[in-house]
Amino acid sequence: VTARPIRIGIAGVGKIARDQHIPSIAANPAYRLTAACSRHAQVKGVETFRDIEQMLAGAAELDAVAICTPPQMHYQAAKAALLKGKHVLLEKPPCTSLAEFDHLVQLAQKAGRTLYQTWHSQHADAVAPAAVLLQSRRLKRARVAWKEDVRRWHPGQAWIWEAGGFGILDPGINAISILTRLFDEALLPRSVTLFVPANCQTPIAAEITLETGGGAEIQMELDFRHTGTQTWDILLETDAEPITLSSGGALLSLGDAPVPTASGDLHGEYRSIYRRFAELVARGQSEADARPMRLVADIFLMGKRIPVEPFIE
């Protein structure tokens, strides 16, 4: 942790900025929220600019910027901040192409600033202990069910249906980021079906089969049309007891028995992200992991598209 608080600005004040970033910054004495930019919202107690350029010009004292806009705007915002010598915390999905991803990594290196490209689900409580359990077990097969109600979690978010908006792969990339954290070995898409509403550019549901380097199959069922109980589960069948991660990776069980996790905190992902960002800034390091993004790019590259009924919010 640096000696004085990191003066941080938030770019894009939507759902995730309000639900997670602003409270996590407020809870961590390593930061002082110093500015924000949004076309519509105001953040209480700090100067709010119209866009990132105006924020970078008007709040020159900023040390860092957290990019919380839709993914289509991540690259330009992160680039502008790095070129002004700011450290950058980047929401997932990091950007809309691997070329943008690579360029941001290069820009951070050149600028000598921290780029922390985050995968919040990797911070969920059960993920690290599940990775340890897997080290002494062989995976036989896995099933991922990521089924949520888009109207509840992405209200009014037209960007998610536009090109570069990822559709169901916006939450789906969270599950994939857990898989890449659990498995060092190769993960290869083998069959992919994307269900695309007639009035949208991105899928509302997907059925994906991945194969691990060791030959095990991972079946993924992703669906944004799911109402009722929301499901973010990963079931790993192994040569010993099955391992289950549920609630997006917050809860762990081995066989039928729940395994207590370190913090027992269902919502600690963003607190952990902000602790890590302060560490990286203090050490002058960056962290960017392209594996989840590469896998999703492959999924879009090889997916069969099936048209489905239009999505009307």
User: Which CB atom, from 174 or from 261, has the smaller least distance to ligand NAP?
Assistant: 174
Helix (H) or strand (E) holding 206: strand 205-212
Beta bridge partners of 149: 225
User: Which CB atom, from 13 or from 206, has the smaller least distance to ligand NAP?
Assistant: 13
Minimum separation from the CB atom of position 37 to ligand NAP (A):
7
Minimum separation from the CB atom of position 292 to ligand NAP (A):
12
Beta bridge partners of 144: 220, 234
User: Which CB atom, from 16 or from 297, has the smaller least distance to ligand NAP?
Assistant: 16
Q: Indicate if 92 belongs to the active site.
A: yes
- What is the number of the residue whose Cβ is closest to ligand NAP? 14
Active-site residue (options: 15, 79, 86, 92)? 92
Minimum separation from the CB atom of position 84 to ligand NAP (A):
18
Compute the CA torsion angle 103, 1, 291, 215 (nearest 10 deg).
160
CB count within 10 Å of CB 284 equals 10
Class of residue 4 by CB neighbours under 10 A (exposed 0-12, middle 13-18, buried 19+): exposed
Q: Are 203 and 168 in contact (CB under 8 A)?
A: yes
Tokens linked to 37: 């930019």
Minimum separation from the CB atom of position 88 to ligand NAP (A):
14
Which chain residues interact with ligand NAP by CB under 6 A?
Answer: 12-17, 38-41, 68-71, 73, 91-93, 120, 153-154, 157, 159, 170
User: Which CB atom, from 52 or from 187, has the smaller least distance to ligand NAP?
Assistant: 52
Q: How many residues does the chain have?
A: 313
Give the active site residues.
92
